[in-house]
Homo-oligomer: A and B are copies of this chain.
Amino acid sequence: MKTAIITVGKEVLTGKTINTNLATISRRLNEIGIDVNRSIVIDDIKEEYYSILDFCDSDLIIFTGGLGPTVDDITRETVIDYFKVETYLDKNILKDIKDYFGRIKVKMEDTNDKQAYFPKNSIIINNELGTAPGVIFKADNKTIVLFPGPPHEMIPMLEELIKYLKKELDIKLYSKGFKLVGIGESTIEKALTGFYDKHPLVNVAPYASIGEIKYVFTSSNKEKLEETMNDFYSKFSEFIYGDLDDTLEGIIVQKLIDEKMVISTAESCTAGQLAHMITKVSGSSEIFKEGFITYSYEAKSKYLNVLQDSLIKYGAVSNEVANEMAIGLAKETLADIAISITGIAGPTGDTPDKPIGLTYFGLTHNGVTKTFKKIFNGNREMVRTRATIYALNLIRKELFK
């Protein structure tokens, strides 16, 4: 099924907005076995729609953008004109549009009536978060989809399209996946030599981000899907932290809540990033009460009881200091788990024996403290993000061991 995604709008063409809709739609279509062949961004000028529709020989054409009720939103009428399909006036939607203009206290032009015309036999998808509904219709043996541009309006509609396509194309596809941390894509791919040939009926796709990676498995054969996932799991179980809906901080916070445990943080180089990640999760106030950002020697001594001697002898970025930070933190906060981070984020501050990226971690749990050392690649921001995710993974491994 040849598929094109057409994004409409000056905002995207001028670079004011990054086109995330393409990635969102592609991924979901990919998961039900539909590949996107082309993606095009056009200006909202009538000739451009015509030119692109002449050009596209796709079976499925998805437009996003240009669906609103104002005069410069011309996607619906232009595409309907192009395909010369019969239309009808949807009175409910006309009322919605009139209400909208009433609410924003703008006089509605008569031309806006046209926004309530839809192709006969089209499927209208309600927009809970904006004014313009989505539309699916058939014309010239093609399936045409019109979605609004704002991602938060578009994304819920995408699920309706997926349902429609699965039914229409009689796709019985199952899609599941794993999220992994503590291992890189290249290491995984090397370990997967022969794996793809062994599981020909399952599509396996990796999606990488800094410090994390997810693998999505898709197949029409439920048994083969399970078999493939089990095989994958057996190879990488220690790095798998959850399924596609999970987040690393989410599973940690939930586990801490379940275990009625409290966690505290002492951060030097990451300076609050770890605490910020943990508290992203709603409800985290049950398990996170306090944290320290101890950037200076003095703060490490004053709040965490790190010895002056250790700071002078080993330096702030050292195994000894990470260890003392975690011990001091646990004692001060009485948390069940106390974690410390101290490292060199760069771009300055390295010494011959301490490179940029060198980071030490301390983890105190039930009175036992372990330390960890790691050298991270990348610029200042990447080093800090990798260190934060590494710390979350240390907590996860401690909690789920």
Contacts and interface: CB of A to CB of B under 8 A. Distances in A.
A12 B40 CA distance: 12
Contact of A285 (B20, B282, B295): B295
Contacts of A14: 26-27, 30, 35-36, 205
A208 to B, nearest CB: 8
Interface stretch (A220-228, A235-243, A272-280, A369-377): A272-280
A162 B205 CA distance: 37
B348 A283 contact: yes
Given A23-B15, A27-B15, A40-B39, A285 B293 contact: no
A307 interface: no
- The winner among A15, A278, A380 for most chain B CB atoms within 10 A is A15
Interface stretch (A73-81, A119-127, A263-271): A263-271
A42 B38 contact: yes
A60 B219 CA distance: 42
A285 B299 CA distance: 12
A280 B348 contact: no
A108 interface: no
Contacts of A275: 271-272, 293
A275 B39 CA distance: 40
Interface residues of A, number: 66
- Chain copies in the assembled complex: 2
Nearest to A13: B36
A291 interface: yes
A14 B302 CA distance: 52
Contacts of A299: 289-290
A366 interface: no
Contact of A276 (B19, B27, B206, B276): B276
A232 interface: no
Contacts of A346: 282
A347 interface: yes
A41 interface: yes
Interface in A123-179: none
A289 B271 CA distance: 10
B280 A289 contact: no
Nearest to A19: B19
A14 B204 CA distance: 12
Nearest to A206: B16
Contact of A296 (B22, B55, B289, B347): B289
Contacts of A36: 13-14
Contacts of A25: 15
A17 interface: yes
Given A14-B205, A272-B267, A272-B291, A380 B296 contact: no
Contacts of A285: 295-296
A288 interface: yes
Contact of A295 (B24, B26, B206, B288): B288
- The winner among A43, A279, A347 for most chain B CB atoms within 10 A is A279
A39 B283 CA distance: 43
A35 B13 contact: yes
Contacts of A30: 14-15
Contacts of A302: 290
Contact of A298 (B205, B289, B348): B289
A280 B55 contact: no
Interface string A1-32: 00000000000111111111011111100100
10 contacts: A12-B22, A13-B26, A13-B35, A14-B36, A15-B26, A38-B40, A276-B276, A285-B296, A289-B299, A290-B302
Interface of A: 12-20, 22-27, 30, 35-43, 48, 55, 205-208, 265, 267, 270-276, 278-280, 282-285, 288-296, 298-299, 302-303, 346-348, 380-381, 384
